[in-house]
Every structure is written in structure tokens, then in C-alpha cells.
Amino acid sequence: MAYRWKNTLKDRDVTPEHLYMNRRHVIGAAMAGLALSGLSTPARAEDEELVPTDWEDITSYNNFYEFGTGKDDPKKFAHMLTTEPWSVKIDGMVDRPGDYAFDDILSKMTIEERIYRFRCVERWAMIVPWNGFELADLLDLAGVQSSAKYVAFETAMRPDEMPGLSRPVIEWPYVEGLRMDEAMHPLTMIATGIYGRDIPNQNGAPLRLVVPWKYGYKSIKSIVRITLTDEEPPTAWNKYAPREYGFYSNVNPNRSHPRWSQEVEQLIGSGLFARKIPTQMFNGYEEEVARLYEGMDLIKFH
């Protein structure tokens, strides 16, 4: 696939300063977990450098159950997925429903880099330099109607190209959803690349969602359909185990998974030590997103 890095930032695409500042803070806090085991207090988080996880780790330790449930299955099998041509059906409560060709979408977007913390509900974490655009910009192409309250997403379902589909692990296709204000939030992005290169199939080529303050399973991969709706859409892991996986799934150190605590996370790294660090509220993006949940019981509505 062609190299898709575009470097021309339009004014509206420049990351707002508070996000940039917080990003530095947030990543710093992650890196402060240099205490090699246990949980010593992160020291002087703001002084730490941004250190993204290695390309090798980001692209070889994956969850993408359509290719198998092992962490190395996606890298082994995702090459079977044909990602060209690709289109995304955008339908429901939009002014311009239709099949949007991936290349047409790209030609209308300005690709930027966002270095985000990424936190799986299983407690591993990474720092990923994504390339992509805000989901809001894609939704603007289709023209969201005021009646829409939620956005539903669906992954490709191609048994011939996705060997994991032969087992009923979860109900296929993989589906996810966001409330409209979450979908429109400037942190919410569609990723088309990592480290300035096209996103590898195992990470959700050619386009996947990234919602950095939520557990990783919300960040649905290889999207083929986006539906604007006025009802809370079903989500894959919530259907599988509603008590364990909620619709919101905001990263929250104070709400244990029924089978494990979420107080700590392990930063994936190719070094000798897996660094255990404290989980941060909203994965470190509290300043940007807490207002979306004002007045909401974050233990009950999980």
C-alpha cells in the first residue's frame, strides 16, 4: 500500500495546546513507572520523555480475535485479509449515507500523528504513535443528523480471510459503539497508520477506531460500517459478558473487573523488565474527558 503520511497540517488540525500539554504529562506519567516491580510513586512525571512502545511490540502482541485468540495469531494470519479496495458504509441518521471508498476518505483528511496511551482491559498497556484523523471529521463527511445519539461500528466478517471466525468465541461480526459526544470528542480518532507507516493488518488495517481513555476493546479494528442511531448500540464484549464489560468501559483504577483488580497495568516493552505502573483514571485523559461523565456513577455505569 502507498505510504500515506501527509504532513500538511491545517489550522484546525493542530492539536489544541491543552491536549499537547496533557499528552506530555500523560505519557510522562506512564514512563515514570521505571520502578521495575511493585508500585513506587511515579516521580516527577512531567520531566520524563515521550517514549513510544517499539514497532515490533505494537505489531506482534495483539488482540484481533477474527484471526485467533493468541497474542501472536493476528501477526501470523492477518496478512490473509484483503484491505484493497476497502470501503466503509456510513448509514442511519446521516444526510449523505453511502459506501465511502477508503481512498476517497483519505483524500479528504489531513493525517496527523497522535501519541496516545493504550490500555487493554487485560492490564497490558502500550504507548502508540498513531497516524490518522479525528472521527468527527469522518462523521462530518456524512453529515450527522441531530436525531443521532450514538455511533455503531462493525468490523469486516470474511470467513475465508479471517480464520478465527470459524470459532464462536464472541458473536461475529465484532461490533462497538460510542455515545455521540464521545464520538465527536477531539481525542477520538480513526487510525490509518503507526509510526508514519500504513497500519499493519494485525492492528486493524486499513482503518480502526482509537479511543484512548477507554479499554482497548472499544477500539474496533478493520471497520466496514458506521451507523448513526438514537439507541445505545450492542457491543461485542458486553454481549459476551455484560457483568464484566460495560458499554462505557472507561479506564478506571477504582473499578475492579469482577476477576481482577485494575489498579495496576503492565507496560509492554522489549526490555528485560515489564514495567508495572499505576492505572490512571480515564487512562490519563481525565482532564479532557471527565466532563463527559459528570454526575454519572462510574462504578455502576461501567
Ligand X SMILES: Nc1nc2c(c(=O)[nH]1)N[C@H]1C(S)=C(S)[C@@H](COP(=O)(O)O)O[C@H]1N2
Question: Residues interacting with ligand X, by CB under 6 A?
Answer: 62-66, 120, 155, 174, 203-204, 216-217, 219-222
Of positions 33, 132, 204, 216, contacts Mo ion by CB under 5 A: 216
- Among residues 42 and 132, whose Cβ is nearest to ligand X? 132
Helix intervals (H) in the chain: 17-31, 55-60, 73-77, 102-108, 135-142, 180-184, 236-240, 286-289
Q: Give min distance, CB of 157 to ligand X, in A.
A: 9
161 binds, among ligand X, Mo ion, none (CB under 5 to 8 A by kind): none
280 binds, among ligand X, Mo ion, none (CB under 5 to 8 A by kind): none
Applying CB under 5 A, does 29 fall inside the site for Mo ion?
A: no
Stretch that binds Mo ion, among 16-24, 58-66, 131-139, 206-214 (CB under 5 A): 58-66
C-alpha cell at 280: 490512571
Q: Are strands 124-134 and 264-267 parallel, antiparallel or unpaired?
A: parallel
275 binds, among ligand X, Mo ion, none (CB under 5 to 8 A by kind): none
Applying CB under 5 A, does 58 fall inside the site for Mo ion?
A: no
Q: CA distances (Å), 94 to each of 78, 125, 259, in order?
A: 32, 35, 40
Q: Which residue has the cell 492490564?
A: 123
Q: Which residues pair with 276 in a beta bridge?
A: 266
Gap between the Cα atoms of 246 and 258, Å rounded: 12
- Among residues 206 and 216, whose Cβ is nearest to ligand X? 216
Gap between the Cα atoms of 258 and 201, Å rounded: 32
65 binds, among Mo ion, ligand X, none (CB under 5 to 8 A by kind): ligand X
Nearest residue to Mo ion on Cβ basis: 120
Phi–psi pair at 37, nearest 5 degrees: -145, 165
Nearest residue to ligand X on Cβ basis: 216
- Among residues 144 and 207, whose Cβ is nearest to ligand X? 207
Applying CB under 5 A, does 120 fall inside the site for Mo ion?
A: yes
Q: Give min distance, CB of 142 to Mo ion, in A.
A: 28
Gap between the Cα atoms of 35 and 48, Å rounded: 13
CA dihedral 132, 178, 98, 82 (to 10 degrees): 50
Q: Give min distance, CB of 54 to ligand X, in A.
A: 13
What count of other Cβ atoms lies within 10 Å of the Cβ of residue 15? 16
Q: Give min distance, CB of 118 to Mo ion, in A.
A: 9
- Among residues 40 and 266, whose Cβ is nearest to ligand X? 266
Chain contacts with Mo ion (rule: CB under 5 A)? 63, 120, 216-217
